[in-house]
Structure 1
Amino acid sequence: MSWLDLSRLDPNAPGRFPGVGSVPTEPPNTERPTTEPPVTRTPSTTSGPPAPPGAEPATPTTAAATPESAVPEAEPEPEKTLDELLAELDALIGLHEVKAEIHRQVAVLRVEGLRTKAGLKSATITRHLVFVGNPGTGKTTVARLVGGIYRALGLLTKGQLVEVDRSELVAGYLGQTAIKTAEVVASAAGGVLFIDEAYSLAGDQYGTEAVDTLVKEMEDRRDDLVLIVAGYPDPMVVFIAQNPGLASRFRTTIEFADYTSDELLAIFKSTAAKADYDLPEATQERFTAILAATPRGPSFGNGRFARNLLEGAVGRHAWRLRDIPEPTVTQLRELLPEDVGPEPNPLDVGELAPLLGPPPEPLSDPADMVSGQPTEVDDSEETT
């Protein structure tokens, strides 16, 4: 190897680049082992002085040689057809009145589209909807399906669902709410804007500003936007009635009834099956007993109640198997009755006792406390 070969020099040493420092006048030790691995050079993305004569050209890396546009992008999922979306709607547990109303809406809008193509006059049909019902009754799920159904009918260009509440529409200062609300509506253009607990927009000037902006945007984007407002039945009636602009645009109200006990059990079983868990008969009876003892007021979670119980059961199941090194597949899948119920404290008092130490000394009688310190009583004097 010639001592003029600069490839083995320190890249930062003087003389490595033209005009910087000087080239050493003595050749390096030529008795190195020939098995030494070659120096690997990583090309720099910054511009710099050219390499000296005789230096090996840098080998470009794969990232530098492959343009960003050549990276294959993930193919979008194929859009579902109208029949597929309606079948998905019909497969939901319960919601019989909701399904019937959605099918009626589809029939009306489909015929309306055919009349328009045929050059016939058509009545003005509002596509915006009001969903009323208690929490956990499937309002968001149905709203997402409505977006896909309207897209399949050609009424929307995208069909996406944008879910918001008051906090995402109202700003901290008057005048900014209109801008914030308009930006949210713009993100939902081509799809469905779903406002949960929409009645919270009533009662103050900030909410009124948001509602006024929504009414204007609904008119400006009436050909490519669907607005669905949802909440408890009675507050939603008051909310729609207090604004003439809303009342004229929301003519269809769909009521989501609470799930029955059998429907909640079906939701519990279906959710468990999708997660690869088995529910023996005794476990199902345990769920039914807990459900029967749970009050069903306005805050009852409905389907959310069933899903929360299942999530708690999964946690208790994992804790039950904590000391089994290699549980069987049956043990990994099966949820027992003791797994279903309120979440226990993983460590009981007996297990925590060694960590807590001895119990604290009992406190003095509060009657003998003055400013947090025990009061010493002088027995030498009689009190009258």
Structure 2
Amino acid sequence: MTDALTLAAALDALAAAATTAGVDATEARREGECLAATIAEPSRGAFVDWSEQTGRATSSEDFMDAASRGRRFRSAPTPTMSGLSLAGSAHAPAYAQALSDVALAAATLGEENPRAVGNAATAAAAQLGESRTPAPTAAPGALDFNAPHDQAARSGDHFLAQMMDQLGQVQRKLSNLDLVQQDSRSSLAEEGALAPVSKPGDPVATQAPPTEPEKPEQPAEPEPAPKTVEELLAELDTLVGLTDVKAEIHRQAAILRVEGLRKEAGLSSPTITRHLIFNGNPGTGKTTVARLVAGIYRALGLLSKGQLVEVDRSEMVAGYLGQTAMKTADLVKSAEGGVLFIDEAYSLAGDQYGQEAIDTLVKEMEDKRDDLVVIVAGYPVPMAIFISQNPGLESRFRTQIDFADYTDDELAKIFGVMAKAAEYDVDETVLDRLRALLGAAERGPTFGNARYVRNVLEAAIGRHAWRLRDIEAPTLEQLRTLEADDLDQVVPDGPSEPVEWQPVPDPTEQEPL
């Protein structure tokens, strides 16, 4: 078996990839630490290994805080990854691969746990999804899903013990390990191709190349152009469901485009508020749409960078009055040039700490009004109360977009999209089992929608790997195929399985007699 890549080595490689790409290596490493923590969260004792590999003091509190911050990276690219992709950077694929390696290395932390494997597979696919390549041919009988993020997770051979070898086989059989930059102007269905790569031990890799006359150095390839408004709107249209949301984003894009053209022509134009309110239950696509809005605003020339910085109350509010203002201002600064997305923004209302964050946010929005967009999201009624409590917010947030819950059929299609992105095949028997789970799930306001089916998929991938652990040489079809029995009921988003945090015993303490 190939030696597993350690998390420490994967984080070093991530920081190096960030430096090469011209982005903040410290921030990249922090993103990687949070991603690793959320993947390893189900594994007992993972916080000890995580602390050792990251060089931090052994602390379950720090580990759980990082896991909470990184949970969103299991289903969406990190801010740095998103920024490189939107800019069409030639370094985006290498950075995505480095993030994928961090995800897969994190699955080895703590005691073996199949759920951590599932977390790693879907997280790797989410990061690599920003550097798209064509999906492999589905196995016979598998359903074909038209996915907006049609990129499979590619890794080295480092999963848990035998599972690492098994899943490594599918990586080697399905694709090369090196990604090449895609033409960001090509259509979503046609984007990307893999460059042929020689591997250690291949005849081509071991034979000396024939002697050839030296050729003059070729000029460097120009950076590909960033995505256009049309490309981003086309990507929006490929999302499952969200009919009313898509129509409103198209309308907003058209209004803002005309406003820009009028200004260029020297005509007067009313100031249109660009900040948005996203109303909806969890897992209804708010973050995904916010990321596309950031890119659309950048393509329209309204934002200089177009990155999405997603935060919640815990990342804005500090433990003492006075610190919250600095913490919030730092977050806004990191989002300048892009979109600051505040999830569950209503949680800021009701106490002096949250009020300090709101007051700071309103001031920063005014100071940076030419290169910052803020999107606040949450449940409809609490959001209405939140906005009404501050006149500064009311005047800046005039456009509300409502995100409806997905239907069972839409959730089944989303499950297929996610499975395909992670290079797994599902058939109707699997989707029927999923529909049965959806029918039994409590569908109140806290139901997770797409987040729920992502949790089902992560658990199914872990059980699939566990099911194959005793098969010495599974076939490609076995490696790709999820079965109905791999699906089971899930818990709400959070730790995938109960984790017992065992305190380190004090050697000076004696057992009572």
Q: What TM-score, normalized to structure 2?
A: 0.52
Distance 1:177 1:282 in 2: 51
Asked whether 1:217 is paired with 2:364, we answer: yes
Within-5 A mapping of 1:111-260: 111-260=258-407
RMSD of aligned residue pairs (Cα, Å): 1.5
Correspondence list, 1:1-384, <5 A: 75-77=90-92, 78=224, 79-342=226-489
Q: Which amino acid aligns with 1:232?
A: Y
> Equivalents in 1 of 2:469, 2:311: separation in Å?
40
Shift of 1:76: 4.4
| Per-residue deviation, residues 320-378 of structure 1 (Å, max 9, x unmatched) | 212211111111111111111137xxxxxxxxxxxxxxxxxxxxxxxxxxxxxxxxxxx
Equivalent residue, structure 2, for 1:62: none
Deviation at 1:280, TM superposition (A): 2.3
1:46-101 CA-partner distances (Å, limit 9, x unpaired): xxxxxxxxxxxxxxxxxxxxxxxxx8978445421111111111111111111111
Aligned-pair distance for 1:281?
2.0
Match of 1:39 in 2: none
Following superposition, the deviation at residue 214 of structure 1 comes to 0.9
The amino acid that maps onto 1:327 is P
Find the aligned partners of 1:329 and 1:292 in 2 and give their Cα distance: 32
Contact 2:248–2:401 (8 Å) recurs in 1:
yes
- Relative to 1, partners in 2 of residues 1:224 and 1:294: Cα closer, same or farther, differing over 3 Å? same
Amino acid at match of 2:264: K
Which of 1 and 2 has greater Rg? Answer: 1
SS at match of 1:89: helix
Tell me if the contact between 1:134 and 1:299 (Cα under 8 Å) persists in the aligned partners: yes
Tell me which of the two structures has the higher relative contact order, counting C-alpha pairs closer than 8 angstroms and 6 or more residues apart: 2
Q: 1:72 to 1:141 in 2, by over 3 A?
A: closer
**Count of aligned residue pairs for this structure pair:** 273
Structure 2 residues not aligned, in runs of 5+: 1-19, 23-88, 93-223, 491-513
**2:308/2:339 contact within 8 Å kept:** yes
Q: In 2, Cα distance between the equivalents of 1:109 and 1:151?
A: 11
Other-structure match for 1:52 = none
Q: Distance in 2 between matches of 1:248 and 1:211?
A: 14
3-state secondary structure, aligned to 2:457: helix
Q: 1:199 to 1:262 in 2, by over 3 A?
A: same
Distance in 1 separating the partners of 2:421 and 2:347: 35
Distance 2:91 2:306 in 1: 14
**More helix per residue:** 2
Q: Work out the CA distance in 1 between the residues paired with 2:417 and 2:324.
A: 42
Deviations 1:150-188 (A, max 9, x none): 000000000111111112111222122212211111111
8 Å CA contact 1:312–1:342 kept in 2: the answer is no
Q: Secondary structure at the match of 2:375?
A: strand
Contact 2:21/2:91, CA 8 A, preserved across alignment: no
